[in-house]
Amino acid sequence: MDEETDDRVQVWLVERTYSDDEQNLIILTYATPDGERYYRKERALTSFTDVRDTTAAVETDPENLGAVGDDDLREQYAAEAERMAQVHDPEDVI
């Protein structure tokens, strides 16, 4: 499946990190299968009852994507996006 449909781009979860500052954030990074572009979402950890599913892939507008400038990071994102796409359906909750 190609990732661009109707001007939206499908990106795969490649990294989940926790903010080092006091904001109590989870940072979700999704990337295109080639690892060249990424989409970042930040979620506040407000309470245990605040349930929001994290899916294996999301679709976003192309203007929401940033360029990955580091070759090693691009390779890492591409490998992880490929792995996620092989193991999960886009709507799988991770």
Q: Measure the CA–CA gap between 37 and 44, rounded to whole angstroms.
A: 24
Neighbours of 45 (CB within 10 A): 12
d(CA 48, CA 83): 29
Q: What is the pLDDT of residue 1?
A: 44
Q: CA angle 77-26-4, nearest 5°?
A: 40
- pLDDT value at position 24? 78
Q: In the predicted model, what is the mean pLDDT of residues 34-47? A: 87
User: Which pLDDT score is estimated for 18?
Assistant: 85
Given a contact cutoff of 8 angstroms between Cβ atoms, the answer to whether 45 and 52 are in contact is: no
**pLDDT digits 0-9 by tens, 44-87:** 776 556 667 899 999 999 999 999 999 999 999 999 999 999 99
Task: Say what the pTM is.
Answer: 0.84
Q: pLDDT above 90 covers what percent of the chain? A: 67
> What does the domain layout of the chain look like in residue ranges?
4-87
